[in-house]
Structure 1
Amino acid sequence: MTHPPMFHQVTSIVQETQQVTDQKEMPTAEIPETVERSKHDVGWRKVVRNFTPAWFSVNMGTGIVSVLLNTLPYNGQWLYYISIIIFILNVAYFTVFLAITLLRYILYPEIFRVMATHPVQSLFLGTFPMGLATMINMFCFVCVSRWGDGAAYFIWAVWVFDAVVSVLVAMGIPFLLTTRKNGLDLSSMTAAWLLPIVSCVVAAASGSIVADVLTDAQLALATILASYILWGIGVPLAMMVICIYLQRLMFYKLPPEAMLVSVFLPLGPLGQGSFGIQKLGISAQTIFPKTSTLSVSTGAIFYSVGFLIGILLWAFGVVWLSFAVATSIKSRKFPFNMGWWALTFPLGVFTASTCTIGQELPSRFFSVLGTVNFCFRSSNDRY
C-alpha cells in the first residue's frame, strides 16, 4: 500500500490527518472495500507522531511540587520523604517523555521543522529545559550530599546543557516567530509567549543552587556569573512580553475559556526572577570573597541589591496573582486541558520567592504566607 506523503504526516502536529472522502455523494455499494488506514494513524506510531513538547509541562508542575516540599520553612521529615518520592516520579516522567520525543523525531524528522515554526507548539519547547531544571534542583538538594563531589560535577554538566538549550530556545523561538510568512494577530496572543523566554530565568535560578554544591570556588564563580547573564536575558525580555500581553487583555478582553489559566503564566518570570536574583545574591556573598572578585564588599552589595530587586518583582507578581485569581472567580468554570499545568509552576515559583524573602529578612509573615501559597496551589491542583 502506498503511504501518504510525509508532508501530510508532518502537519498532524496540530491535528490528526483526516482523509477527505465524498461518501455522501457516493452510494454505499460504490465505497471501495480495500480502504485501509495508514500504519502511522494507529497504535504506538500515532502516539509517537502526535506527542508534542507540551507534555514536558508535566515535569514543570511535578518538579516544583517536589522542590517546595523539600524546602518549605515549616517542614517535617515526612514531607521530605514525600518530596523524594515525587522527585523519582518526575524523573520517570521525564525519561519516558524524552524517549518518545527522540523516537518521534527519528521516525519523522520533518516534524521538527514544522513544530519549531508553528505559532503555538513551538512555544512549548521551553518546557523541556524548565522541567529538567526542577530535577537539577532536587538532585542538588538530595543526591549531592550523599554521593559526593562526583555527583556535584555531574549535575553541573547537566546544568550547562540545560542553560545552553534555554538560551537557544529563548532567542530562537521569538526570532522564528518574527520571520514567519503569516503574521501573528494580537488578539490571538496568549501568555504562552512567555514559555520559551522564562527558560533562561529558570536556568539562572538553578545555576545559583548548583554553584552552592560545587567545591571548586572558581567553577562556582563562573556558574554564578553565567547565571546572572541568563537572568539578564530572560527577565527584561519577559517584561516586554508581559506589557504586550497586558495590552492584548485591555484591547481584546480575556482569552478563550480553554486558555484562561494562561493568565497565571506571568507569575512565572516574576516569581522565578525574584527567587533567582535573591539566590544569586546569597551565592555571590559567599563565593565572591573566596575568589577575590572585584572589591571586598562586592558580594554583600550583590546580595543587598538582589534582595531589593527580588522583593520588587515579588510585589509585581502580587498584582498578576490578583488579576489571575479575579479572572478565575469571574469565569468560574473552564475546561481541563494541558494548559492547567500553567497554573502549577508559576504559583510554585512565586511561593518559592515568598519563602526566600521570609528566610532572608527573616520574617514569619512571609514564611507563613509562602506556606499558605503552597496550600492554595495544591488545592487548585486537586480542583
Structure 2
Amino acid sequence: MVFARIQDYGSRAGNNMSPDDGPYEPLNRSWFRALVQDFTPIWFTWCMNAGIIAILLHQLPYQFNSLHVLSTVAFLVDFVLFTIFSLIMITRFIWFRRQAYYEITDNINDLALGACWPIAWQIISSLVCLIVSNTYWGGHAFTIVGYVMWWIGTGWMVAYLLFAFLTLIRRHKTKDQKLPPTIVIPAVGVATVATTGGVIASYADGLSARLAVPTIIVSYMCVGIGIFMAIFLYTILLHGLFQDGWPVPDNITSMWVFVAPMGQSAAAVQILSSAASTHGRFAGYNKGIFLTESAATPLSVACILLGLWMSGMGVIWALIAFVAMMEKAWQGKLKWSLVWNSIIFPMGTLTTSFLLFSIEMDSPAFRVVTTALVILLVLVFFLNAFFAVWRISKGELLIVRKNPRARRDENGST
C-alpha cells in the first residue's frame, strides 16, 4: 500500500514535532478505516431529525390510526442510527485517539456540531418516556429509564457546552476565522435539555410530582442558558453577515440553524408551563410560593407570551434562511450537501412551538400550519436520505477511500 506522511495532531497541543516526524497515513484505505477515520459529529443530525419528527407525529393535532405507528417507526430509526453512529464515533476515538480529538477540536464547525451527540441522546430519552412508557408492554419501568437518561444527558450537554466554549477561548481559534452559524448549536443543545425535560415531566407514565418538579426547575434554568447564550452569539453572527454576506453556497442551508435557539426555547417554556399547570406537577408538589397550583396558572400565561415573542423571532430567521437559499438557487449555485440536514431540526423546534400554541389557544390556524410544516419536514428528510444514499454509493460521502490526510513529498510522489 502507498503511504504518505502527515502532521502529528498532537503537535497542536504543544508538541514541537515537525510534519516530517508525524505518522504515516495510507493514501488508499479500506472502507472500514475510511468510515471510522472520517466520521464527524454532523451525522448525529440524522438522529436529531428523525427524533423530532417522531415527537411531532406523535403529538400532531390531526391524528389517524397509523400516525402513532409512523411515530414509533421514526423513533426506531432514531434509536438505530444513534446506536450505530455512537459506536463508530467511539471507535474513532479509540483507534485514532489524539488525531481524532484534534481534528474535531481544531475545526470550529465540528467542535460545535459535537453537541449534536448529547442532543440526540436527550431526544431519545424523551421518546422513551413519551412513546415506550405509554405502551402496554412498557409502563413505569421505562419512565424511570428515560428519566435517568435525561439527567445523564443534562450533565453531558452542559459539560459539552463548557468544553466547546472553553476550547475556543484557550486556543483563540476565532481570531483569524469567521464564526460559522453552527456555533449556536451548543446553546440549542441546552435549550433541548429543557424541552425534553418538559416532555418527560408532562407525558411520562406514572411520573410523580416529586420527580417531575426538579426536572422542571433545572429545565427552566437551561432555557435561560440557551436564550442568553444564543442572543450573545446572534450579535456576532449577524455582524459577520453584515460584513461578509451569505455563507458559501455549499453551507448556505446552515442559515436555518439561526431558527433553532428561538424555536427550541419557545417550545421549552410552553411545555414546561404545561407540565406545571395542565399536568398538575406544581399542585402535586405544593411547597413554598412558586411550586404551588396558584403560581402555575400565571406562569403558564407568562410562558405563552414569552413563547410568542421568541417564535416571532424564529419566523424572521426562517424567512431570512429561505431568502438565502432562493437567492443561491436563482444564481444556479444551490446544490445538495450534508448541511441540508440543518433545515429539519431547527424548523422542527419552531413547529413544536406552533403545535403547543395550537393546544393552548385551541387555534385551527396553528393546527393547519403545524400539520403543513410536519409534512414538509418529512419530505425534506426523505430528500436528504435519497441524496445521501446516492452520494455514498458513488464513494463521495461517508466512505471515501482516498485519504485527504495523505501528503505528497517534495518530488510529487506519495
One-letter code aligned to 1:119: I
One-letter code aligned to 1:124: L
Q: Is structure 2 residue 351 aligned with structure 1 residue 351?
A: yes
Give 2:244's match in structure 1, choosing from 252, 255, 279: 252
Give me the whole-angstrom Cα distance separating, in 1, the residues matched to 2:2 and 2:369. Answer: 62
**Which residue number corresponds to residue 25 of structure 1?**
none
- Does the 8 Å CA contact 1:190/1:259 hold for their aligned counterparts? no
1:11-50 matches, cutoff 5 A: 38=26, 41-50=29-38
Q: TM-score, normalised by structure 1?
A: 0.87
- Does the 8 Å CA contact 1:166/1:200 hold for their aligned counterparts? yes
Give 1:223's match in structure 2, choosing from 212, 215, 223: 215
Q: Is structure 2 residue 123 aligned with structure 1 residue 129?
A: no
Question: Bigger shift: 163-172 or 107-116?
Answer: 107-116
Deviations 1:59-110 (A, max 9, x none): 1111112211111111212222111112111111111001111111111221
1:129-208 matches, cutoff 5 A: 129-146=118-135, 147-185=138-176, 188-208=178-198
Deviation at 1:267, TM superposition (A): 1.0
Give me the whole-angstrom Cα distance separating, in 2, the residues matched to 1:37 and 1:179. Answer: 29
Q: TM-score, normalised by structure 2?
A: 0.81
Deviation at 1:242, TM superposition (A): 1.6
Deviation at 1:42, TM superposition (A): 2.7
Give 1:291's match in structure 2, choosing from 285, 294, 298: 285
Q: Considering Cα pairs closer than 8 Å and 6+ residues apart, tell me whether 1 or 2 has the greater RCO.
A: 2
**Which residue number corresponds to residue 372 of structure 2?**
372
| CA spacing shift, 1:2–1:251, aligned 2, 3 Å | closer
One-letter code aligned to 1:170: L
Give me the whole-angstrom Cα distance separating, in 1, the residues matched to 2:145 and 2:371. Answer: 32
Give 2:87's match in structure 1, choosing from 99, 102, 106: 99
> In proportion to residue count, which structure has more helix?
1
1:285-324 matches, cutoff 5 A: 285=277, 286-295=280-289, 296=292, 297-324=294-321
Residue identity over aligned pairs, in percent, reads 22
Give me the whole-angstrom Cα distance separating, in 1, the residues matched to 2:106 and 2:219. Answer: 28
Give me the whole-angstrom Cα distance separating, in 1, the residues matched to 2:368 and 2:91. Answer: 45
SS in structure 2 opposite 1:74?
A: coil
Q: Is structure 2 residue 224 aligned with structure 1 residue 232?
A: yes
Give me the whole-angstrom Cα distance separating, in 1, the residues matched to 2:119 and 2:174. Answer: 28
| CA spacing shift, 1:318–1:38, aligned 2, 3 Å | closer
Deviation at 1:319, TM superposition (A): 0.8
Which runs of structure 1 show a deviation greater than 6 angstroms over 4 or more consecutive aligned residues? 1-6
Deviation at 1:261, TM superposition (A): 0.3
| CA spacing shift, 1:226–1:347, aligned 2, 3 Å | same
SS in structure 1 opposite 2:115?
A: helix
Deviation at 1:39, TM superposition (A): 9.4
- Does the 8 Å CA contact 1:117/1:176 hold for their aligned counterparts? no
One-letter code aligned to 1:144: S
- Aligned pairs, number: 360
Deviation at 1:211, TM superposition (A): 1.7
Give me the whole-angstrom Cα distance separating, in 2, the residues matched to 1:89 and 1:261. Answer: 24
Deviation at 1:233, TM superposition (A): 1.2
| CA spacing shift, 1:363–1:185, aligned 2, 3 Å | farther
Give me the whole-angstrom Cα distance separating, in 2, the residues matched to 1:343 and 1:209. Answer: 23
Give me the whole-angstrom Cα distance separating, in 1, the residues matched to 2:378 and 2:207. Answer: 36
- Does the 8 Å CA contact 2:128/2:146 hold for their aligned counterparts? yes
Question: Bigger shift: 296-305 or 196-205?
Answer: 296-305
Gap regions ≥5 residues in structure 1: 12-18, 21-35
Give 2:199's match in structure 1, choosing from 195, 200, 209: 209
One-letter code aligned to 1:229: M
**Which residue number corresponds to residue 391 of structure 2?**
none
Give me the whole-angstrom Cα distance separating, in 2, the residues matched to 1:269 and 1:320. Answer: 10
Give me the whole-angstrom Cα distance separating, in 2, the residues matched to 1:40 and 1:208. Answer: 48
| CA spacing shift, 1:10–1:377, aligned 2, 3 Å | farther
- Does the 8 Å CA contact 2:258/2:317 hold for their aligned counterparts? yes
Gap regions ≥5 residues in structure 2: 12-18, 384-414
- Does the 8 Å CA contact 2:259/2:317 hold for their aligned counterparts? yes
One-letter code aligned to 1:116: T
